[in-house]
């Protein structure tokens, strides 16, 4: 008696049925020579077991325009670096004679008498940094407040008007700011400087030794042509530049995060502090450093409003200060060959300080990219 094969067990409820190959009707037997379910072919993983992720190599089809743009961008960057390097090399070569004669005293000497062998940039570099810091201390809050109002509070019509005014201020020549500071600002700054010295003279930088507030005959002329006046003039020049950079960055703050902060109950000012300012941190730093670089190299406006002296003057309200750029503008026309070499050496020092400020700004911006903190 021939026994029939026992029936195959019924699949459990919910068990996954194997799918027949493509083109084979359901329920039919697999063809001869095919591998049974669950077997594994060499070098191939079954569909039910996910394999390791393998990154795909994407190849972009670059056309002639893409290649021209890429090579042009690389060439532009290399040209900029080459120009900056050549400027530094030129100043170093032309100022090598003066630097070799002065030696280390070039950085510590305050007098400027190249023909007698006594010359240095200590006083003029101090005045340059003092004027630039005063300018940034005034321009930073002014630019930040203006950029915040334009991007967050101003109506549409007023916003477009203010954007045009700020951009126009950035395009005004420096000689116009110098004339404004010399003929309008200086006379109105004297009583303010006198009041600051009388009430805050206990702070060393606001003290003026030649002014006695108890003397009724004391003249306010000791406050003319000061570093404070030059700093205010330069601040009006760098504030529009910093404001433009900050405004553009603030306008790019993500709308979703703005609406999310407001939906969570934040006020308008709270949204700005928690979303806009953290997002625009890089723009704030970049605009400030860009303005500082402009303030360090400003020439004509500072030259028109200061009284040049070759001594380190810590009294920013007192008459007399100096800067490297104004020193070069003042002595370049009548300088001998050796004096010209000394001026080139001073320009090299200013170039090095400006490059250090810009590189420092780049490092700070790289560490505080806009949007990472928001």
pLDDT tens across 238-297, in order?
Answer: 999 999 999 999 988 888 999 999 999 989 999 999 999 998 888 898 889 888 888 988
Specify the DSSP element, H or E, that contains 113. Answer: strand 112-113
In terms of Cβ atoms closer than 10 Å to its own Cβ (0-12, 13-18, 19+), residue 374 is middle
No. of helices (H) and no. of strands (E), the chain: 14, 2
pLDDT digits (tens, 9 = 90+) for 174-208: 999 999 999 999 989 998 998 998 889 888 889 88
Given a cut of 90, is residue 143 above it in pLDDT?
Answer: yes
Given a cut of 90, is residue 349 above it in pLDDT?
Answer: yes
Q: What percent of the chain has pLDDT over 70?
A: 83
Q: Which single residue is written with the structure tokens 């250090």?
A: 356
What mean pLDDT comes out for the span 353-363? 84
| Distant-in-sequence, close-in-space partners of 340: CB < 8 Å, separation ≥ 6 | 94, 332
Specify the DSSP element, H or E, that contains 10. Answer: none
Strand, coil or helix: 346? helix
What mean pLDDT comes out for the span 19-29? 53
> What number of other Cβ atoms are within 10 A of residue 121's Cβ?
27
Separation between Cα atoms, residue 282 and residue 68, nearest integer Å = 31
Least confident of 19-28, 215-224, 339-348, 362-371: 19-28
Can you spell out the DSSP letters for 257-296?
A: HHHHHHHTT--HHHHIIIIIHHHTHHHHHHHHHHHHHHHH
Phi, psi of 112 (to 5 degrees): -130, 85
Kindly state the DSSP code that residue 153 receives in the 8-state scheme.
Answer: I
Per the prediction, the chain carries an average pLDDT of 83
Q: Pick from 358, 230, 351: which is nearest to 289 by CA?
A: 358
Phi, psi of 321 (to 5 degrees): -165, -175
Given a cut of 50, is residue 231 above it in pLDDT?
Answer: yes
| Distant-in-sequence, close-in-space partners of 117: CB < 8 Å, separation ≥ 6 | 101, 102
Sorted by where each begins, the domain ranges of the chain are 75-367
Separation between Cα atoms, residue 131 and residue 138, nearest integer Å = 11
Per the CB < 8 A criterion, the answer to whether 315 and 205 are in contact is yes
The angle, 0 to 180 degrees and rounded to 10, between the axes of the packed helices 324-331 and 122-148 is 120
Can you spell out the DSSP letters for 160-214?
A: HHHHHHHHHHHHS-HHHHHHHIIIIIHHHHHHHHHHHHHHHTTSGGG--TT--TT
What mean pLDDT comes out for the span 305-320? 90
Least confident of 4-18, 90-104, 191-205: 4-18
pLDDT at 361: 77
Instruction: Give me the CATH topology for the region 75-367.
Output: MetI-like fold (1.10.3720)
Phi, psi of 118 (to 5 degrees): -115, 100
Per the CB < 8 A criterion, the answer to whether 106 and 123 are in contact is no
What mean pLDDT comes out for the span 71-84? 93
Given a cut of 90, is residue 61 above it in pLDDT?
Answer: no
Per the CB < 8 A criterion, the answer to whether 238 and 291 are in contact is yes
pLDDT at 374: 38
Given a cut of 80, is residue 233 above it in pLDDT?
Answer: yes
Strands 118-119 and 112-113: antiparallel
Per the CB < 8 A criterion, the answer to whether 95 and 106 are in contact is no
Query: Any bridge partners for residue 321, and if so which?
Result: 308
* More confidently predicted of 23 and 282: 282
Given a cut of 70, is residue 313 above it in pLDDT?
Answer: yes
């Amino acid at each position: 008696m021939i026994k029939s094969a026992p029936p195959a067990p019924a699949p459990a409820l919910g068990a996954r049925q194997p799918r027949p190959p493509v083109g084979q009707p359901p329920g039919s037997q697999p063809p001869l020579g095919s591998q049974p379910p669950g077997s594994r072919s060499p070098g191939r993983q079954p569909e039910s077991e996910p394999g390791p992720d393998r990154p795909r190599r994407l190849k972009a089809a670059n056309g002639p325009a893409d290649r021209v743009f890429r090579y042009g961008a690389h060439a532009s960057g290399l040209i900029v670096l080459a120009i900056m390097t050549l400027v530094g090399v030129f100043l170093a070569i032309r100022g090598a004679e003066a630097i070799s004669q002065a030696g280390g005293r070039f950085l510590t000497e305050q007098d400027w008498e190249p023909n007698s062998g006594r010359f240095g940039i200590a006083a003029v570099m101090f005045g340059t940094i003092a004027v630039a810091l005063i300018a940034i201390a005034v321009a930073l809050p002014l630019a930040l407040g203006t950029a915040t109002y334009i991007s967050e509070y101003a109506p549409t019509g007023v916003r477009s008007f203010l954007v045009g005014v700020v951009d126009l201020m950035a395009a005004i020549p420096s000689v116009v700011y110098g004339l404004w500071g010399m003929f309008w600002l200086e006379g109105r700054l004297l009583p303010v400087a006198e009041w600051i010295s009388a009430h805050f003279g206990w702070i060393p930088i606001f003290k003026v030794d030649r002014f006695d507030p108890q003397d009724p005959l004391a003249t306010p002329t000791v406050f003319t042509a000061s570093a404070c006046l030059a700093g205010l003039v330069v601040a009006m020049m760098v504030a529009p530049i910093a404001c433009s950079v900050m405004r553009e960055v603030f306008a790019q703050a993500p709308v979703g995060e703005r609406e999310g902060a407001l939906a969570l109950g934040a006020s308008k000012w709270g949204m700005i502090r928690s979303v806009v300012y953290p997002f625009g941190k890089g723009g704030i730093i970049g605009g400030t450093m860009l303005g500082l670089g402009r303030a360090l190299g400003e020439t004509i406006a500072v030259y028109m409003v200061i009284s040049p002296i070759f001594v380190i003057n810590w009294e920013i309200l007192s008459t007399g200060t100096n800067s490297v750029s104004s020193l070069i503008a003042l002595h370049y026309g009548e300088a001998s060959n050796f004096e010209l070499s000394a001026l080139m050496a001073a320009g090299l020092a200013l170039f090095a300080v400006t490059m250090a400020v810009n590189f420092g700004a780049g490092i700070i911006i790289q560490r505080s990219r806009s949007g990472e903190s928001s």
